[in-house]
Amino acid sequence: MAKITLNLISGRTIHQGVAMEGGKEKDLYRKACGIIEMDDSDFKKLGCWKNTNVRVTSKYGTVIVKAQETSQGPHPGVGFIPMGPWANQIVNPNTYSTGMPTFKGTPVEVEVAMNEPILLGVELVQKACRGEV
């Protein structure tokens, strides 16, 4: 199966904000943040349908999210995961002596993971802390 390399950035979306205030343990939060927004051209390179579960992997970790067509594009070569536990499994935690992790600009690989589940927000962090994902 094809793999593509993207430059990952994270950030706020209004859906992320609403879902966060509505409860981070709920399914709406997973729907808002357990996604990666990709450009149409990157979907073609990956060779998968929109709304397919994908595994996103960086040198810092790996996570399963749903690949969605970007709502704020085009941005070929750039992947966007809304800020939250899913993005934070794979962002570059190095602060380079500034105190600030490098939340934007992490090289990641994306591959199709159609049958793997996307975890709920609280569950994902709990499992990651127990070393179960």
Partner 1 sequence: MTKTVTDVVCPFCGTLCDDLEVAVTDDGKQILDVYNACAIGAEKFLHSQAKDRITRPRFQQPDGTWKETSYDEAADYTAKMLAGAKKPLMYGWSSTNCEAQSMGHEIAEMCGACVDNTAAVCHGTTLIAVQDIGLPTCTLGEVKNRADTIIFWGCNPCHAHPRHMSRYSIFPRGFFTGKGHKSRKLVVVDPRVTDTAKMADIHLQVTQGQDYELLNAFRVAFKGEWLPDVVAGIPKEKIIEAANIMKAGRFGIIFFGMGVTQSLGKNHNIDEAIAVTKDLNEYTKFSIMPMRGHYNVTGSGEVLAWQFGYPYSVDLTRGFPRYNPGDTSSIDLLTRGEIDAAFVIGSDPGAHFPISAVKKIAQVNSVCIDPHITPTSGVSKLHVPVAFVGVETGGNAYRMDNVPIDCRKVVEPPEGMLTDEEFLTMVRDRVKKLKGVA
Stretch binding partner 1 (CB under 8 A), from 19-27, 43-51, 109-117: 19-27
Burial class of residue 56 in the structure, from the number of CB atoms within 10 Å of its CB (0-12 exposed, 13-18 middle, 19+ buried): buried
Is 62 a residue that touches partner 1 (CB under 8 A)? no
70 interacts with partner 1 by CB under 8 A = yes
Please give the Cα distance from 97 to 100 (Å, whole number). 8
Contacts of 126 (CB under 8 A, 6+ apart): none
Q: Toward partner 1, which CB reaches closer, 68 or 122?
A: 122
- Reply yes or no: is the peptide bond before residue 76 cis, omega within 30 of 0: no
Q: Is 51 in the site for partner 1 (CB under 8 A)?
A: no
Binding mask 20-49 for partner 1 (x = CB under 8 A): xxxxxx------------------------
